[in-house]
Amino acid sequence: MAYRWKNTLTRADVTPEAMWLNRRQIIAGAAGLGAIAAAGAAQADEGLEPNSYEDITSYNNFYEFGTGKSDPAENAGAMVTDPWSIRVDGLVDNPGDYSLAQLLDGLTAEERIYRFRCVEAWSMVVPWNGVELADILTKVGIKPEAKYVAFESLADPETMIGVRRQVIPFPYVEGLRLDEAMHPLTIMATGLYDRPMPNQNGAPIRLVVPWKYGFKSIKSIIRITLTEEQPPATWNMLQSREYGFYSNVNPEVSHPRWSQATERRIGGGLFNARQDTLMFNGYEQEVASLYEGMDLRRNF
Ligand SMILES: Nc1nc2c(c(=O)[nH]1)N[C@H]1C(S)=C(S)[C@@H](COP(=O)(O)O)O[C@H]1N2
Ligand SMILES: [Mo]
């Protein structure tokens, strides 16, 4: 795939956080002081070099289409993503079945270049396009009792070979605490590289939570529910000893079967040395305060 950036990539392009943090700061006033520091940190970043479109769309986890890394690219073409309807229910003011266009109406997608770290210890850098989940949630109206957000993926045996074979229980479900869901880094992505989201990456809309292991970033979402109780999450249900509800990227907390201290950057080439995994995947300044007072070994 020969897709290239339309423009030359500058340092400003690879630090979009700086821009939105600035915007938020203006809106949030004093609450944004930490955000300014975070924007500074983002600018001092190594200058994130996005993986190629080919890497991002050919090496995937999407068990609805099989467990192999190339299965989603091979099989996800069968999924019908238009029309697409999303049920919004639970502790919201405006529940209902929304078309994708209705849900996104009035919101403008922006680019976010994020590190993406799978619990399997590989990583990529992805130039997503999407909207902040907070903007969607604010639009549908959050009731004061809401404490969590639950998500559910499409599970269609007709078009999804992994669902037919029941490789794991479906539908795939995930959840976030409300403050995590409302964090400005958390987006609902509808595209990447300024193209519509490829099916294998979770078309037409998927969650991206860059400081958490990749499995939290649930794909092809058909339902969003605000709840008072912590919702179930697929990998946590399957192996709670290995996959916690929080699953924040943490180089100091090993998976029971492997270290999380380093990672392999996909597309790094033959001589690509493993690189150090960063606390909260490099977003520590932005998100650490969400977990103040929590034991990150117990709440892994
Ligand atoms: N519905 C659904 N969402 C999912 C998965 C899945 O199997 N089904 N896999 C997760 C895992 S383990 C990872 S690492 C990421 C992979 O996203 P990518 O293929 O866009 O890199 O999607 C996550 N979201
Ligand atoms: Mo993953």
- Strands 85-90 and 221-227, sheet pairing: parallel
Pocket test for ligand 1, best of 61, 63, 160, 243 (most atoms within 8 A of CB): 61
- Burial readout 133-143 (b: 16 or more C-beta within 10 A, e: otherwise): bbbbbebbebe
State in Å: Cα 116 to ligand 2 middle.
Answer: 9
With a Cβ cut-off of 6 Å, ligand 1 is lined by: 60-64, 118, 153, 172, 201-202, 214-215, 217-220
- The string of pLDDT tens digits covering residues 119-152 is 999 999 999 999 999 999 999 999 999 999 999 9
Q: Which residue has the higher pLDDT, 22 or 45?
A: 45
State in Å: Cα 259 to ligand 2 middle.
Answer: 15
The token pair at 200 is: 């294998």
- Cα–Cα distances (Å) from 63 to 75, 230, 280, 283, in that order, read 11, 24, 25, 27
- What does CATH list as the number for 11-291? 3.90.420.10
Which candidate, 106, 113, 160, places its Cα nearest to that of 136? 106
State in Å: Cα 273 to ligand 2 middle.
Answer: 20
The atom of ligand 1 lying closest to the CA of 62 is 7
Residue 28 scores a pLDDT above 50: no
The token pair at 233 is: 């999450």
Strands of 23-121, DSSP E: 85-90, 96-99, 110-117
The atom of ligand 1 lying closest to the CA of 213 is 14
Count of CB atoms within 10 A of residue 226's CB? 25
The protein residue with its alpha carbon nearest to ligand 1, atom 4, reads 218
User: How high is the pLDDT of residue 240?
Assistant: 97
The atom of ligand 1 lying closest to the CA of 60 is 19
State in Å: Cα 216 to ligand 1 middle.
Answer: 8
User: How high is the pLDDT of residue 39?
Assistant: 47
What is the value of pTM for the model shown? Answer: 0.87
The protein residue with its alpha carbon nearest to ligand 1, atom 21, reads 60
Write down the residue that tokens 């502790």 correspond to: 91
Do residues 125 and 50 touch, judged by C-beta distance below 8 A?
A: yes
The atom of ligand 1 lying closest to the CA of 72 is 19
Which candidate, 299, 282, 161, 165, places its Cα nearest to that of 236? 299
The protein residue with its alpha carbon nearest to ligand 1, atom 1, reads 219
User: How high is the pLDDT of residue 273?
Assistant: 77
Residue 72 scores a pLDDT above 70: yes
Write down the residue that tokens 């270049």 correspond to: 113
The protein residue with its alpha carbon nearest to ligand 1, atom 24, reads 218
Write down the residue that tokens 């976010």 correspond to: 112
Task: For residue 264, list its beta bridge partners.
Answer: 122
Residues 6 or more apart whose Cβ sits within 8 Å of residue 202: 62, 189, 217, 218, 219, 220, 221
Count of CB atoms within 10 A of residue 230's CB? 14
Do residues 11 and 22 touch, judged by C-beta distance below 8 A?
A: no
Which ligand is located closest to the Cα atom of residue 235? 1
State in Å: Cα 31 to ligand 1 middle.
Answer: 33
Do residues 112 and 14 touch, judged by C-beta distance below 8 A?
A: no
The atom of ligand 1 lying closest to the CA of 124 is 21
User: How high is the pLDDT of residue 46?
Assistant: 59
Domain spans of the chain?
A: 11-291
The token pair at 103 is: 């849900």
The atom of ligand 1 lying closest to the CA of 59 is 19
From CA 15, how far away is CA 13, in angstroms rounded?
A: 6
Angle at 223 between CA 123 and CA 96, to 5 degrees: 145
With 0-12 / 13-18 / 19 or more C-beta atoms within 10 angstroms meaning exposed / middle / buried, residue 268 is middle
Instruction: Respond yes or no on whether the N-terminal peptide bond of residue 83 is cis (omega within 30° of 0).
Output: yes
Which ligand is located closest to the Cα atom of residue 124? 1
- The string of pLDDT tens digits covering residues 145-192 is 999 999 999 999 999 999 999 999 999 999 999 999 999 999 999 999
The protein residue with its alpha carbon nearest to ligand 1, atom 15, reads 214
Task: For residue 158, list its beta bridge partners.
Answer: none
Name the amino acid, one letter, at 66: G
- Cα–Cα distances (Å) from 253 to 223, 250, 259, in that order, read 31, 6, 8
The token pair at 222 is: 């058909």
The token pair at 179 is: 């403050």
Pocket test for ligand 1, best of 124, 153, 217, 235 (most atoms within 8 A of CB): 217
Q: Which residue has the higher pLDDT, 24 or 81?
A: 81
